[in-house]
Amino acid sequence: MADLTPLDEKLGEVLGLAQAAQAATDKVGGMEGAGDFRGDLDRMHEQAAETERRTGELVDGLDGKKTAIREKARETKAEATEMMGVYLGGEEEALDGFEFLSMAEAGELAHWEIVEKMSDTIGAGRVRELAGWAVGVQREHVETVRRDALALAAEEATGG
């Protein structure tokens, strides 16, 4: 297996997180009380799929490393999926799902910001361009999840 640079490893991680994010939005979308937020969840799901596609295309252009990076992505997706299962095991209410998403999306944003900093530091222009786009998407996801979680919290507090 190819030796991966720290940036290569981070690319594997963000690829795996984008894959896991699609499963997370599906899971939360099926929880009790999530119906009013379906549009947000669908949009986030589609953007995670686009992130996966764009990152996958970039990785496929890295000769000699794509297999190892994709293996890192599989490991990261499995870890994130396991965390979701532990956190949401037995939970049925959307607020619990949005609480999980708040952590997951913040983590994904931090990973992309790290990719952005690394690529900027070493002059990896194509990676930097992708990271700049993804950081914007992730900031929107963090804010969307925050807003939706607070709306659900208000509903739950009033018994609505």
- Average of per-residue pLDDT across 100-119: 98
pLDDT for 159 equals: 85
> Of 42, 31, 34, 21, whose CA–CA distance to 105 is shortest?
21
pLDDT for 2 equals: 72
Determine, yes or no, domain membership for 37.
Answer: yes
Determine, yes or no, domain membership for 1.
Answer: no
In the numeric block, which tokens belong to residue 149?
Answer: 């979680």
154 vs 85: CA distance, rounded Å: 26
Determine, yes or no, domain membership for 33.
Answer: yes
Determine, yes or no, domain membership for 53.
Answer: yes
Residue 1 has pLDDT above 90, yes or no: no
138 neighbors 108 (Cβ within 8 angstroms)? yes
In the numeric block, which tokens belong to residue 128?
Answer: 């930097």
Determine, yes or no, domain membership for 65.
Answer: yes
CATH number, domain with residue 70: 1.20.1260.10
pLDDT for 61 equals: 93
Q: pLDDT (tens digit, 9 = 90+) per residue, 47-70? A: 999 999 999 999 999 989 999 999
- Give me the domain span that covers residue 127: 6-157
